[in-house]
Structure 1
Amino acid sequence: TVVRLTLARGLNMVEADAYADLIRRSSPDFVEVKAYMFVGWSRHRLSIGNMPSFAEIGRFADMIQAALGYPRAGESASSRVVLLARDPGSTMIRSE
């Protein structure tokens, strides 16, 4: 299971502990912490100012990591994404 957080500056980059509590309930294999990107139809609803930097995503992912205990398993600065994994040595998603 993968939980993806798409974060937008000024909208939902708050209460990392509360996100961690919700994520913990689903016990996912991975947590993807990703920036909102100013592309497509979303440009009519949000502004480029809502697009967080990779550094901001990294800081928020660190807060999720501290609360959840999932270590960082990967990242991509160009995609503005950080991957946290329950088992950082595994890239397999459990099939139950």
Structure 2
Amino acid sequence: MYSENFQICVNLKEQFCAASNNPEQQRAILRDLLNEYAKFGEDVTMISKIIDHFIEDIEGYDMLFSEFESKLDNLCNYKDPNGLDLELRLGLKSD
């Protein structure tokens, strides 16, 4: 995407320089260049939002995993007053 946008801008710049004797053509080229920069800005904004969304998802998964890990630790440390603790029942301890 960036290379395409860059190439379009380079081409427009070359056209602008080649049209140095034609102000109308230069204005049209400048409009095209401004439109291209606007599209590029929109693309960058969209990509930034996507990245932010992924970061939020990752942070959410980290929190869920931490909660799960904490609950698992609590279960593994649970002592059943009527029998063996959970680790022994699951076969995780060999006493």
Q: TM-score, normalised by structure 1?
A: 0.21
The structure carrying a bigger strand percent of its residues is: 1
TM-score by length of 2: 0.21
**Structure number with higher relative contact order (C-alpha < 8 Å, ≥ 6 residues apart):** 1
Larger radius of gyration: 2
